[in-house]
Structures are given as C-alpha cells and as structure tokens.
Amino acid sequence: MGALLNQKYEKLFSLLDINGDGVIAEDDFELMANRVLAAANEERTAKGQKYADAMMNYWRALRETADVDGDGRIDQEEFRQALGRVSVNFDTLVGPLYQAGFQLADRDDDGLVGKQEFVTVLAAIGVPATEAGATFDGLTEQSGQLSKERFMTASAQYYRNEDPADNASHLLFGAL
C-alpha cells in the first residue's frame, strides 16, 4: 500500500475511534452520529435520521469485512486491511454515508455547502476548524461554495487514491 493511502487510513482510523480507546466499535459510530446531528441541529429530522442510518450501514459493512474474529471491535491493522476491500465498493458501501453527510451540511438543500456549514460538520467529527477551513478552500478553489459533485469526487478519491495529484481530496479530513 502506498504511503499516502496509509496515512489517510490512519487519519480515518483516529477520527472514527472517536472515544479514543484504540479500537473502532459500534459505540464510536453512535457517538459520532450524535455529535454530527447535534452540531447540524438535525437530531429529530428525516435528514438526520438518514445520516444516522447511513452511518450504521457503514459500520455494519465495515464490521462484516474487517471483524475477522467477530468480537465487534476493529483494531488499526484490521481496519487497514479491510478498508481497501470496502473501498472497492465505495459507491454502494461508503458513498451513501458521504451523500447523507453532505445533505446534512447543506441546510437549504440547494446542492451547495458553504464554508461555515462544512466546518461545523467536520469539527463535529474531530477535525480542527482551521484545518477544515483550509480543506474547504482547497476543494472549492476559494469559490466559497462546495458542490455535491466535488465533495463526492473528493471523498471517493480519499479512499481510492486514483489521482495522487488531487491534493485537496487527500486533506479531506484535515492535515495528514
């Protein structure tokens, strides 16, 4: 595995292990969903429910692929090995989570997310606000509006690593 992809996977692992106990488990996903929904003020909306569902679906897919011994916990090495397999099916397994996340951030549903909306959601999953702001500027080339298409391209790039030159996508979750 390339060094860059490895760094990105380590970054993802550290964010997903939101309670910091060294393994990824269902409680991390519950905590993350709750934080994001609270930050977006969508705790009791259809949009919020869609996001929470997408997050649990992602967790189930990850568990099925990664949790070889079936104890419900995924350590860093299991995560690294499984993510490549999950990411092959980005559109069906991972994509829906990012779509739901984008919709959550897109308060007025016009298909565009502003910087503050973006930073709010990323800060809720543990990305420092300054790094999230820099990521937003990179993804949007300073245009101030992030389109759903650009966000989905960047999130797929983050996992698939098909275009090493797409620097903005590598920084999707902050500095590596």
DSSP structural state of residue 114: E
**32, 97, 112, 124: residue in contact with Ca ion (rule CB under 5 A):** 112
**69, 71, 110, 162: residue in contact with Ca ion (rule CB under 5 A):** 110
**4, 7, 14, 21: residue in contact with Ca ion (rule CB under 5 A):** 21
**122 near 173, Cβ under 8 Å?**
yes
Task: Considering only the stretches 29-37, 39-47, 101-109, 147-155, report the one whose residues sit in contact with Ca ion under the rule CB under 5 A.
Answer: 101-109
**19, 116, 143, 167: residue in contact with Ca ion (rule CB under 5 A):** 19
E-assigned strands of 95-164? 112-114, 145-147
Task: Retrieve residue 78's tokens.
Answer: 């299991």
CB atoms within 10 A of CB 56: 15
What is the nearest approach in angstroms of Ca ion to the Cβ of residue 163?
26
Nearest to 132 by CA among 149, 148, 113: 113
* φ and ψ at residue 175, rounded to 5 degrees: -60, 145
What is the nearest approach in angstroms of Ca ion to the Cβ of residue 108?
4
What is the nearest approach in angstroms of Ca ion to the Cβ of residue 161?
25
The site for Ca ion, by CB under 5 A, has a size of 8
Residue number, 108 or 162, with CB nearest to Ca ion: 108
Tell me the one-letter amino acid at 129. A
Please report how the helices 3-16 and 26-40 are oriented relative to each other, as an axis angle in degrees rounded to 10. 80
What residues between 34 and 93 interact with Ca ion by CB under 5 A? none
**135 near 152, Cβ under 8 Å?**
no
Residue 105 as a binder of Ca ion (CB under 5 A): the answer is no
Residue 17 as a binder of Ca ion (CB under 5 A): the answer is yes
Residue 28 as a binder of Ca ion (CB under 5 A): the answer is yes
What is the nearest approach in angstroms of Ca ion to the Cβ of residue 3?
25
Tokens 């679906």 belong to residue:
57
Binding site for Ca ion (CB under 5 A): 17, 19, 21, 28, 106, 108, 110, 112
